[in-house]
C-alpha cells in the first residue's frame, strides 16, 4: 500500500511538473507572438478619385475593399460628392463613405464626353488622346483642390489615424493626400499602367525595345519604325504629359505645404506596393520586382447565376448556332454613332446566330428578330453559358478577363485609352480578331465574326490562356489580402528596389562604363607608348649599325 502511494505521489509530481513546463512554453510562445505585428482590425482609407467615375474602376477598388471588410478591417472610402458609385457595392465594400464638396464637375465631365464622342475614327490619333488626358486631368485637379479646401473633411481624415491608404493612382492627388496625412499607401491599377504611374516612376526596368506602351496597338514584336514610335511615345510624349500634369498639381502642393521640397515624382514613387490587374496569360513578359503583384481577373464573376427565364429561353432557342454577346462596357461614352449602330444591327440580322446586345438607346431600323437589345446584361452569366460562342467587346480589361475565365473567343473594337493595347495582346495570342474604327463596314464586321467562329484555333487559344490565368497558387482576392496585410504588418521597404535612390548616371552605370572605357583607352595609350619607344630604339640601333 505504501509503495502504491509512493508511485501515485511520484506520478502526481511528474504531472504537476509537466503542466508547469507546458504553461511556461505557452507563455514564451505567447510573448513571441505578441512581438509580431498584426494586421487584424486595421484602418484603411480607399480613394475613388478617377474623374470619369467608370464602373470598371469602381468595381476593381470595391472588390479589394470588400475583401478587407469581410476580414474585419475598417474601410473608409473617400470620393467627390459628384462621383458616381456605379460598380461599387457601398453596403459591403466599405464601413464608411466620406465625400467632399466639388464645383463644376458635372459640366466638366460633359466636356470630356464631347471630346470622346467627337473623336475621329483614327485609333492612333495621339492629339486626341492627349486632349482627352488633359481634359480628365483638369477635372481631377479641380476635384483635388476642392478636397484640400474642405476643412471639415480634411480634419476628419487626420483624426482617423489610418494604417494604410489604398489608391488608384490615375492622377497625383492620391500621393499628395498620402503625404498630407503621413500615411503609407498602396497603388492599385485596373489596367497595365496609368498616365502618372508607370514602371519608370516605380523604379522598374521597362525596355521600350520589347515592352509596348500601354496606350498603343503594339506587341512585344515591333518593327524598327514601331520601336522608334514606342520609344518616343514612352520617353518623350509620355514624359511631357507627366510633366504637364505634375506641374499643374504643384500649386496645390505648395498651398497646403505638402513636402514642398519633394517632387511629385518622388511622392508617387513612395508607394509601398503595386497591385496590378494583369497577368502574363494576357500581358507580355517584362521585368518586374517583388513589390509588383498581379491580380488578374479580380473583378471577373464566377458566372454561376441562373439566367432570367425569358433570357434563358432566348439563349436556348439559338440551337447549335449559339449566341453572340455584344457589349461596349460600362461607360455610356462608349456608345457608337447612329450610322455604326445601324451597321452592327444589319450585320447581326444577317447572321445565323442569336445576338444579345447591351444597348440603351433608340431601336435601330435594321434590328433583326434574332437580336435582343438590353440596357443591362448579366455578362458573366452569359459568358459562362455553353450556348455563348463569342464576345464582341470594346476591349476593357475586366471583360476580357471574364472571356478568358469562360474560354470565349473575342472580336474586339477598341475605342480609347488602354483598349487598343488590350486588343493587340488578345490578337497576338490568337484569342480573337480586332476591328478598326476606321473600317466598320458590314463586310469587315461579318468577316471578323465569321473568322473567329469558323476557325477552331481561336477557341483553342482562349482555352489555353484562360487556363493559364486561372492556374495560380491563390485567388486574386486572397493574393491582394495577403500582400495588403503584409504591408500593414511589415511595411514595404524590404520589397523596394534601390534604383530610385540613385541618379541617372549611377543607375545606368554610365560612370562605371566611362571608367572602364577610360582605363581601356589609357591601357591602349600606354601600349602605344611602349611600342612607339621600342620602334624608335630599333630604328636607332639599325641606324648605328649601318653607320
DSSP assignment of 399-449: HHHHHHHTT--EEE---STTHHHHHHHHHHTTSEEE--GGG--HHHHHHHH
pLDDT of 110-140, one tens digit each?
556 555 555 544 445 566 666 777 777 788 8
Residue 484 has pLDDT above 60, yes or no: yes
Which range of 7-16, 150-159, 533-542 scores highest in mean pLDDT? It is 150-159
Cβ contacts of 30-34, under 8 Å, gap ≥ 24: none
Q: In whole angstroms, give the CA distance from residue 373 to residue 313.
A: 15
Q: CA-CA distance, 194 to 220, in Å (whole number)?
A: 19
Q: What are phi and psi of 218, to 5 degrees?
A: -85, 160
- Stated pTM of the model: 0.84
pLDDT for 35 equals 43
The contacts of residue 312 (CB under 8 Å, 6+ apart) are: 306
Distance of CA 297 to the CA centre of its chain: 11
| Interacting residues of 106 by C-beta distance below 8 A, sequence separation 6+ | 82
pLDDT band at 22 (very low <50, low <70, confident <90, very high): low
Which has the higher per-residue pLDDT, 204 or 259? 259
pLDDT exceeds 50 at position 28: no
Q: What is the pLDDT of residues 186-225, one digit of tens each?
A: 999 998 888 788 888 888 888 999 999 877 789 999 999 9
Gap between the Cα atoms of 151 and 158, Å rounded: 10
Residue 431 clears pLDDT 90, i.e. is over it: yes
The total number of residues written for the chain in this structure: 547
Burial of 363 (C-beta count, 10 Å sphere; 0-12/13-18/19+): exposed
* Average confidence (pLDDT) over 56-72: 93
Pairwise CA distance, residues 214 & 241, whole Å: 14
CA gap 409, 393 in Å, rounded: 10
Q: What is the pLDDT of residues 432-448, one digit of tens each?
A: 999 998 889 999 999 99
Which residues lie closer than 8 Å to 21 by C-beta, 6 or more apart?
none
CA–CA separation, 167 and 45 (whole Å): 8
Rounded to an integer, what distance in angstroms lies between the CA atom of residue 136 and that of residue 247? 15
For the CA atoms of 47, 53, 58, 61, the dihedral, rounded to the nearest 10 degrees, stands at -30
Query: With contact defined as beta carbons under 8 Å apart, do 232 and 156 qualify?
Result: no
Please give the backbone phi and psi of residue 98, each rounded to the nearest 5 degrees, phi first.
-120, 130
Q: Which cell numbers hold the place of 115?
A: 471630346
Query: Which of the four pLDDT bands, split at 50, 70 and 90, describes residue 537?
Result: confident
How far is C-alpha 301 from the chain's CA centre?
18
Q: How far apart are CA 433 and CA 447, in angstroms?
A: 10
Amino acid at each position: 500500500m505504501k509503495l502504491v502511494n509512493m508511485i501515485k505521489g511520484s506520478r502526481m509530481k511528474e504531472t504537476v511538473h509537466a503542466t508547469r513546463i507546458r504553461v511556461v512554453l505557452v507563455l514564451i510562445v505567447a510573448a513571441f507572438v505578441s512581438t509580431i505585428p498584426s494586421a487584424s482590425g486595421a484602418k484603411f482609407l480607399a480613394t475613388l478619385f478617377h474623374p470619369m467615375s467608370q464602373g470598371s474602376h469602381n468595381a476593381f477598388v470595391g472588390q479589394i475593399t470588400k475583401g478587407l471588410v469581410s476580414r474585419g478591417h475598417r474601410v473608409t472610402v473617400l470620393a467627390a460628392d459628384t462621383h458616381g458609385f456605379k460598380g461599387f457595392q457601398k453596403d459591403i465594400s466599405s464601413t464608411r463613405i466620406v465625400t467632399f464638396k466639388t464645383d463644376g464637375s458635372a459640366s466638366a465631365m460633359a466636356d470630356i464626353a464631347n471630346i470622346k464622342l467627337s473623336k475621329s475614327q483614327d485609333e492612333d490619333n495621339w492629339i486626341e488622346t492627349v486632349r482627352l488626358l488633359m481634359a480628365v486631368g483638369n477635372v481631377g485637379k479641380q476635384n483635388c483642390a476642392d478636397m484640400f479646401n474642405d476643412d471639415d473633411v480634411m480634419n476628419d481624415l487626420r483624426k482617423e489615424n489610418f494604417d494604410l491608404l489604398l489608391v488608384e493612382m490615375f492622377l497625383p492627388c492620391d500621393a499628395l493626400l498620402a503625404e498630407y496625412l503621413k500615411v503609407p499607401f498602396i497603388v492599385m491599377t485596373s489596367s497595365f499602367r496609368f498616365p502618372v504611374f508607370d514602371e519608370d516612376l516605380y523604379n522598374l526596368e521597362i525596355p521600350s525595345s520589347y515592352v509596348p506602351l500601354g496606350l498603343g496597338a503594339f506587341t512585344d514584336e515591333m518593327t524598327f519604325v514601331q520601336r522608334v514610335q514606342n520609344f518616343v511615345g514612352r520617353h518623350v510624349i509620355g514624359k511631357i504629359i507627366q510633366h504637364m500634369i505634375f506641374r499643374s498639381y504643384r500649386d496645390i502642393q505648395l498651398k497646403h505645404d505638402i513636402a514642398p521640397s519633394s517632387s511629385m515624382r518622388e511622392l508617387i514613387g513612395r508607394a509601398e506596393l503595386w497591385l496590378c490587374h494583369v497577368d502574363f496569360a494576357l500581358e507580355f513578359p517584362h521585368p518586374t520586382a517583388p513589390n509588383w503583384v498581379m491580380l488578374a481577373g479580380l473583378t471577373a464573376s464566377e458566372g454561376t447565376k441562373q439566367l432570367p427565364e425569358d433570357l434563358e429561353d432566348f439563349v436556348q432557342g439559338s440551337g447549335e448556332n449559339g449566341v453572340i454577346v455584344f457589349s461596349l462596357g460600362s461607360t455610356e461614352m462608349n456608345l457608337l454613332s447612329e450610322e455604326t449602330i445601324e451597321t452592327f444591327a444589319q450585320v447581326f440580322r444577317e447572321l445565323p446566330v442569336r445576338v444579345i446586345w447591351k444597348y440603351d438607346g433608340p431601336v435601330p431600323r435594321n434590328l433583326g428578330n434574332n437580336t435582343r437589345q438590353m440596357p443591362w446584361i448579366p455578362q458573366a452569366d452569359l459568358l459562362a453559358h455553353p450556348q455563348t460562342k463569342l464576345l464582341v467587346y470594346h476591349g476593357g480589361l475586366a471583360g476580357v478577363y471574364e472571356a478568358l475565365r469562360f474560354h470565349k473567343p473575342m472580336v474586339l473594337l477598341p475605342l480609347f485609352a488602354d483598349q487598343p493595347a488590350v486588343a493587340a495582346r488578345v490578337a497576338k495570342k490568337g484569342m480573337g480578331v480586332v476591328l478598326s474604327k476606321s473600317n466598320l463596314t458590314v463586310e469587315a464586321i461579318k468577316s471578323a465574326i465569321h473568322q473567329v467562329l469558323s476557325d477552331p484555333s481561336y477557341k483553342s487559344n482562349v482555352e489555353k490562356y484562360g487556363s493559364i490565368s486561372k492556374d495560380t497558387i491563390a485567388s486574386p482576392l486572397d493574393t491582394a489580402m495577403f500582400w495588403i496585410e503584409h504591408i500593414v504588418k511589415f511595411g514595404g521597404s524590404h520589397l523596394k528596389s534601390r534604383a530610385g535612390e540613385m541618379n541617372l548616371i549611377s543607375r545606368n552605370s554610365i560612370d562605371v562604363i566611362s571608367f572602364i572605357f577610360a582605363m581601356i583607352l589609357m591601357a591602349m595609350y600606354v601600349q602605344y607608348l611602349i611600342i612607339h619607344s621600342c620602334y624608335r630604339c630599333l630604328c636607332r640601333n639599325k641606324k648605328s649599325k649601318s653607320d
